[in-house]
């Protein structure tokens, strides 16, 4: 087999993996390896093939990293939830100084913000066996969407569910999911929110909404496109 096929086969495998994982890094390396294949095809020595592939791999990994962070920046859950919480708090009639007066009050404020404005709206599951839930029949293989954000507003679990009431002492919210796939990062996300929000409102006690916040037009990683604030 000619040397260039080796480069291209590995590049194709990585490109396939990229389609599944959506990381951008695998795509960057796949392109670099494909370039190594082109160098081999053009008859360059194996040193030059490697030099080209490695140099391009490093450069494209940087590009992929830049692109990935830019693309993901507005969407990961915690920034989304910090924005959601700030908006919910400023939209409420509560005084932030009261909401964050101590650790217990802070924790309740954070949980209530997570409940009323879940950053992750929907997760999906597939039925492994026939089941009936609340009169609805599921066959094996049925795809089920769990709308976590709606579960957080269930009037059977939360009184006056659309109201922001940090002192409510009711069911736990489902913003981090439930069961074996319960969010592994929940303690970290909760810690961040419990640390960041009191600091923000303490440093900027006069914080107000400057304009109506613009909600992002996506169902996943529910968050804001714009949150204009004044002090």
184 binds ligand HEM (CB under 6 A): yes
Across 14-153, the runs of DSSP E, i.e. the strands, are: 122-126, 131-133, 136-138, 143-147
Q: How far apart are CA 119 and CA 122, in angstroms?
A: 9
User: At its nearest, how many Å lie between ligand HEM and the CB of residue 90?
Assistant: 19
209 binds ligand HEM (CB under 6 A): no
Residue number of the CB atom closest to ligand HEM = 185
Q: Which stretch binds ligand HEM (CB under 6 A): 8-16, 99-107, 160-168, 181-189?
A: 181-189
User: At its nearest, how many Å lie between ligand HEM and the CB of residue 185?
Assistant: 2
Angle between helices 3-21 and 46-72 (to 10 degrees): 10
Task: Report the length, in residues, of the chain.
Answer: 231
Q: How far apart are CA 67 and CA 221, in angstroms?
A: 19
Cβ(155)–Cβ(170) below 8 Å: no
Query: Closer CB to ligand HEM, residue 6 or residue 177?
Result: 177
User: At its nearest, how many Å lie between ligand HEM and the CB of residue 60?
Assistant: 26
142 binds ligand HEM (CB under 6 A): no
- How many Cα atoms within 13 Å fall on the side-chain side of residue 11? 19
Q: Which of 41, 48, 123, 138 binds ligand HEM (CB under 6 A)?
A: 123
What's the token pair of residue 83? 């924005």
Q: Which of residues 66-95 bind ligand HEM (CB under 6 A)?
A: 77-78, 81
Instruction: Using CB under 6 A, list all residues that contact ligand HEM.
Output: 77-78, 81, 119-120, 123, 148, 175-177, 181, 183-185, 188-189
């Amino acid at each position: 087999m000619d040397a260039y096929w080796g480069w291209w086969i590995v590049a194709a495998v990585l490109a396939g993996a990229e389609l599944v994982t959506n990381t951008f890094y695998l795509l960057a390396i796949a392109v670099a390896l494909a370039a190594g294949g082109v160098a081999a095809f053009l008859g360059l020595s194996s040193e030059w093939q490697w030099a080209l592939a490695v140099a391009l791999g490093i450069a494209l990994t940087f590009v992929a990293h830049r692109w990935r962070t830019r693309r993901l920046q507005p969407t990961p859950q915690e920034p989304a939830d910090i924005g959601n919480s700030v908006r919910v708090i400023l939209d409420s009639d509560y005084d932030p100084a009261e909401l964050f007066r101590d650790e217990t009050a802070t924790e309740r404020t954070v949980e209530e913000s997570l409940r009323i404005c879940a950053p992750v709206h929907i997760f999906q599951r597939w039925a492994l066996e026939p089941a009936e839930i609340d009169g609805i029949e599921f066959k094996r293989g049925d795809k089920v969407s769990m709308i976590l954000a709606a579960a957080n507003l269930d009037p059977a679990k939360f009184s006056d569910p659309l109201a922001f009431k940090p002192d409510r002492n009711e069911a736990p919210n489902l913003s981090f999911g439930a069961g074996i796939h319960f969010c592994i990062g929940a303690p970290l996300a909760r810690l961040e929110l419990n640390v960041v929000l009191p600091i923000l409102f303490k440093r900027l006690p006069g914080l107000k909404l400057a304009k109506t916040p613009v909600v992002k037009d996506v169902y996943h990683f529910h968050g804001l496109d714009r949150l204009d604030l004044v002090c």
